[in-house]
A and B are shown apart, each in its own frame.
Chain A
Amino acid sequence: MPRQKLSEFRAKTILSEALELPYTGWPVNADEPLDGQLTQPAQAGGPFVVKVDEGVKGRFKKGLVALDVEASKLAEAVKEISSKGYHGVIVEPMVRHEQQAERYLSMMIDRSGLALQYSASGGVDIEANPDSIKRVKLDDETDWQQLASDTGISEPKLKKLAEVFKSDYFAFLEINPYLLEGSDLRLLDAAVEVDDAGEFFVDNWTAEDFRSHTGQGLTEEEKVVKELDANSPASLKLSVLEPNGSIFLLLSGGGASVVVADEVYNQGFGKQLANYGEYSGNPNAEETYMYTKQLLQLLLRSSAKQKVLFIGGAVANFTDVGKTFAGVIKAIDEVADQLKSQNVKVFVRRGGPNQEAGLAKMEAALAKYGLLGSVHSPDTPLTDVVTEALRELKP
């Protein structure tokens, strides 16, 4: 999953170090006892700003930022945020300033290279002033002097920013707002997205610093799959959309999985779609077993009256269908009785290395347990089988 948001604490730590700026901030985990975690800021004296730190966009508007918090009220402010379903919080000293002083800066990379965007009217409403944002490409022809005067950030510091962007495998950087204080600057809010494929090459951050997009807690099953994925050369993804959904997808392949999910959505079954997920890159049987087990747990827990499971994907190039299906069948074996008692029907469509053996074993197992919807080879178009499965749900 290449692009990942760093925690604000980590982002600011890296940026402050690069720009030789002092930084004070304390990361707080709302799930742990607060007393110990808040001792240091309390000693430093207030007031503070308390913000959620889970890569959430539009924090102000969502009421996830508390301003001007006294030391004695820190725990209260943290609990207020955690009561909304968040865990990661950051505490920083409050900096009083005029809103007009807020400036905006961002940096991004694409095929044409590195670019910098800036505006003198930063802050929460930057999106309302798109015309104020200037964009400059950063390359051999950049007029750094001009840029320094426009942004108020010195030339060496701007160059340092571009340097750390590259050396730390940033994909996106946004400082909004920052303030100019004499000849120096202060970063009030900073967001950094990194290319997680760069982890091997950097020292300044690790996967521990990633914050998820949703800000929602993961289910146990999603956590297990995340762990599986992290420890495997193959790719294993699972996200729950509707815990009480009717349609569960056990899919293979980054492309085909989206095609199948699209089909469910396009046919008007989006609301009943329980999950999105996929495995690919030839996982071993143990991995597909663990993966399937998580999905089946979710399926059995769903309160939907009718449930179908769609297993499948495109015609694999190198993922061994026999082997991966062996793991899937093992997981089905374990809960076959429960699946049967919930009247679950399973539909399968898959091709690839060893497809004959894999499909035959799958069909035999499903028939034995009374779960068989249908089993198809690539001779039947992928989406036809999705349609067949969805028909099962119609009254």
Chain B
Amino acid sequence: MKDLRTLGTKIISLGSHPGIIQSMLDYSYCIGDESPQVVAIISSGRKQERYFWGNKEVIVPVYSSLQDVSEETRSAISGLLDVRSARRVLSGMKEALELLPGLEAVNIFAEQVPEEHSLEVEKLAKQHGVLVAGPASVGLLVPGVLKLGAIGGTRYPQLVAANIFKPGDTAVVSTSGGMVNELIHTVTSAGLGVSFAIALGGDRFPVTTPAEAFLLAEADSGTKQIVYFGELGGNDEYVIAELLKNGKVTKPVLAYVAGTVAELFAEPPQFGHAKAMASSNDETAKAKKEALRAAGVEVVDVFGDLSNELSKRGGEKKPQEHNEIGVRHKSLIVSRLSGDVNGDVQLLGRDLLSVVNENSLAGLQLSLLLGLEVKSDKLIKFTDYILRLLADHGPYVSGALNTVVAARAGKDLASSLTAGLLTIGPRFGGAVNAAAGAWLNGASNDAKPKDFVASFKDNGGIIPGIGHRKYRIDSPDPRVKALTEQFSGNSNGDKYLNFAKGVELVTTSKKANLILNVDGTIAAIMLDLLESELGSTKEQLQELVDIEFFNALFILSRSTGLTAHYLDQRRHDEGLLRLSEDDITYIP
């Protein structure tokens, strides 16, 4: 039996339900947690979601699958909120139980989970000793510990009105989500406190049965009495009655069993919850109430009498102290790079001037591009070198030519520079990023260079970072030589550079000029340095590829060259550049 008081409070959410997640974070903040309980969300489409933590915003990372979450994070997870659709519940639970070894409590929110699936989840949950509220449940609330699910409300004022920040002595067990909240209010309005509250869900086969919830309450040191909401249908109340008769549950129980109205119908009706249908006399509300009464339960016929009974045992309602949440405003933009603090500009978390004073130009540029202050001399030196190396390769290349054309047409600096930059793409200047993606993919999958090369067949055989117009295996590119001499020998064993060289071995055996070129070399060494000097993970490197970090290096460097060509042309001031008839082959 789980000890509710010591449940872990690191929660992951399968699927995203911002209202519920925010309310869980609000609760976590209100009870004085030091960090938000929800630590990750499994969902598609985004990398992060923003939530409030108190009055400030925090970021919760989003992963597309549970497997993408680091093992370190996963092993710390103890709670799971599953808000995905009914048909994904079984597969999601199987995966979660496998990948989250420390899992203790789960809330399954979806309605319409097939009964067979619920029964299978039940088996798995029992094997792993996991407490599951649901399916079709708003969750589990242990005041002062956690709020797992929508239970208690999804807005801060509701949490305050529910008065559930401090534990009391009354357990609330309900098959219904709306009624669990109603009962929480009834209990706290009567001046009592909630020890824990659980919505089991209105399905025929909830994973945790009412009887099991009663045993949980019996075992819970904080619980002195149990308030129960049950419904017609099923035979749970008879099991509860047995527990009471056998002395397995000794704490006093106050109960309401809904569904006497079914007597009005000629055929047994199906009420709102899946379970709520009495197909035999035993399953009627009346019969179940009698069984509970016979076992010593105080069963009220009028729901309002619950409140009257509880008031006799309680007293005045006292609003509970908690960390309060004020007016909050969702910001428009999130930035890790820079911002004003008390009116002063900060870069990367430090005062602007001190960052400027303590960094070289390349160091500052790389730090900004990566979004963190880089201290590695070798990495900064490499960056400095490639920024110089890529600055200008003459007015022949497409980008520079376009800048020249625009400058001579009388356009201003920004327009002419942009004309050049807009030329950068798959055939001009974009190869560093593409090569980084290729090396990362190949090396981290331990691909054989031969297979790797073959995989580019569909791409017309063109491998980014491979091939040169002029240089060949027997007359190597001196820039490649300079780069490898100065910047290889990294602590990751030059994983990416060696992989790229392995590829080169295959390609040059086919054609002598299919060498590892400057773009490919820069990409490989940058990957090696990031991994060796900064400890970047494969996922982080992949993100850098996805967001075009490697292109950024080229664009940054080449902007100098393009700007220089603009200024150069303005100094010459030769007027409009126009092609001659010889330059065009006209085919009428």
- A interface residues, Cβ below 8 angstroms from B: 1-3, 109-111, 166, 169, 171, 195-198, 200-201, 213-215, 235, 237, 239, 241, 252-259, 261-266, 270, 273, 276, 278, 280-281, 313-318, 351-354, 356, 378-379, 381-384, 387
| 14 further contact pairs, Cβ within 8 A, besides A259-B258, A315-B178, A354-B155 | A111-B205, A213-B268, A237-B271, A239-B269, A253-B179, A254-B176, A256-B178, A258-B259, A263-B303, A266-B302, A314-B178, A317-B138, A318-B138, A381-B307
User: Would you list the 9 A-B pairs with minimal beta carbon distance, nearest first?
Assistant: A255-B176, A254-B272, A253-B178, A314-B182, A255-B179, A314-B178, A317-B150, A383-B304, A258-B258
Chain B: CB-nearest residue to A319: B178
Q: How large is the interface on B (under 10, 10 to 19, 20 to 34, 35 or more residues)?
A: 35 or more
Contact B303 A255 (CB under 8 A): no
Which among B116, B176, B179, B186 is the interface contact of A169 at CB below 8 angstroms?
B116
Bound state CA distance, A257 and B19, in angstroms? 24
Bound state CA distance, A214 and B269, in angstroms? 9
Q: Is B301 an interface residue (CB 8 A)?
A: yes
Chain A neighbourhood of B20, CB < 8 A: 318
Return B127 CB to nearest CB of chain A, in Å. Answer: 15
Which among B86, B155, B260, B273 is the interface contact of A265 at CB below 8 angstroms?
B260
Query: 18 A-B Cβ contacts within 8 A?
Result: A3-B274, A237-B272, A253-B179, A254-B202, A254-B271, A254-B273, A255-B273, A256-B179, A258-B232, A262-B285, A262-B303, A315-B162, A315-B178, A317-B153, A351-B181, A353-B154, A382-B182, A382-B303
Chain B: CB-nearest residue to A239: B269
Bound state CA distance, A197 and B86, in angstroms? 8
Contact A378 B182 (CB under 8 A): yes
Q: Is B339 an interface residue (CB 8 A)?
A: no
Chain B neighbourhood of A239, CB < 8 A: 269
Given A253-B177, A257-B271, A313-B178, A353 and B153 contact (CB-CB distance below 8 Å)? yes
Digit string of B136-177 for contact with A (CB within 8 Å is 1, else 0)?
A: 001000000000011111110110011000000000001111
Contact B267 A378 (CB under 8 A): no
Given A197-B114, A241-B265, A255-B174, A276 and B87 contact (CB-CB distance below 8 Å)? no
Which among A258, A273, A278, A379 is the interface contact of B231 at CB below 8 angstroms?
A258
Given A241-B265, A263-B302, A317 and B181 contact (CB-CB distance below 8 Å)? yes
Return B279 CB to nearest CB of chain A, in Å. Answer: 9
Contact B179 A317 (CB under 8 A): no
Which among A195, A213, A259, A261 is the interface contact of B116 at CB below 8 angstroms?
A195
Bound state CA distance, A261 and B307, in angstroms? 18
Contact A276 B261 (CB under 8 A): yes
Chain A neighbourhood of B157, CB < 8 A: 356
Contact B185 A235 (CB under 8 A): no
By secondary structure, the A interface counts as mixed
Which among A213, A256, A273, A352 is the interface contact of B176 at CB below 8 angstroms?
A256
Q: Is B496 an interface residue (CB 8 A)?
A: no
Q: Is B119 an interface residue (CB 8 A)?
A: yes
Which residue, of B178, B258, B270, B304, has the highest number of chain A Cβ atoms within 10 A? B178
Given A235-B111, A317-B178, A2 and B203 contact (CB-CB distance below 8 Å)? yes
- B interface residues, Cβ below 8 angstroms from A: 19-20, 86-87, 111-116, 119, 122, 138, 149-155, 157-158, 161-162, 174-182, 184-186, 189, 202-205, 209, 229, 231-232, 256, 258-261, 263-274, 276-277, 285, 301-304, 307
Return A127 CB to nearest CB of chain B, in Å. Answer: 11
Given A235-B272, A382-B304, A270 and B264 contact (CB-CB distance below 8 Å)? yes
Bound state CA distance, A103 and B109, in angstroms? 43
Return A245 CB to nearest CB of chain B, in Å. Answer: 11
Bound state CA distance, A170 and B229, in angstroms? 29
Return A190 CB to nearest CB of chain B, in Å. Answer: 18
Return B528 CB to nearest CB of chain A, in Å. Answer: 48
Contact B267 A213 (CB under 8 A): yes
Contact A383 B303 (CB under 8 A): yes
Chain A neighbourhood of B113, CB < 8 A: 197
Chain A neighbourhood of B152, CB < 8 A: 317
Which among A169, A266, A315, A356 is the interface contact of B114 at CB below 8 angstroms?
A169
Contact B261 A252 (CB under 8 A): no
Contact B264 A241 (CB under 8 A): yes
Return B91 CB to nearest CB of chain A, in Å. Answer: 11
Chain B neighbourhood of A384, CB < 8 A: 304
Given A169-B114, A254-B273, A255-B229, A378 and B303 contact (CB-CB distance below 8 Å)? no
Bound state CA distance, A119 and B112, in angstroms? 34
Return A55 CB to nearest CB of chain B, in Å. Answer: 10
Return A226 CB to nearest CB of chain B, in Å. Answer: 12
Bound state CA distance, A218 and B180, in angstroms? 32
Which residue, of B263, B274, B277, B302, has the highest number of chain A Cβ atoms within 10 A? B302
Chain A neighbourhood of B269, CB < 8 A: 213, 239, 276
Which among A201, A241, A276, A315 is the interface contact of B181 at CB below 8 angstroms?
A315
Chain B: CB-nearest residue to A4: B270
Chain A neighbourhood of B301, CB < 8 A: 266
Contact A353 B303 (CB under 8 A): no
Which residue, of B19, B114, B175, B307, has the highest number of chain A Cβ atoms within 10 A? B114
Chain B neighbourhood of A198, CB < 8 A: 114, 116
Chain B neighbourhood of A281, CB < 8 A: 111
Given A265-B261, A318-B154, A384-B304, A200 and B87 contact (CB-CB distance below 8 Å)? yes
Chain B: CB-nearest residue to A166: B116
Return B64 CB to nearest CB of chain A, in Å. Answer: 22
Chain B neighbourhood of A378, CB < 8 A: 161, 182, 185
Contact A315 B176 (CB under 8 A): no
Contact A262 B259 (CB under 8 A): yes
Given A111-B205, A239-B269, A259 and B179 contact (CB-CB distance below 8 Å)? yes
Bound state CA distance, A352 and B115, in angstroms? 30
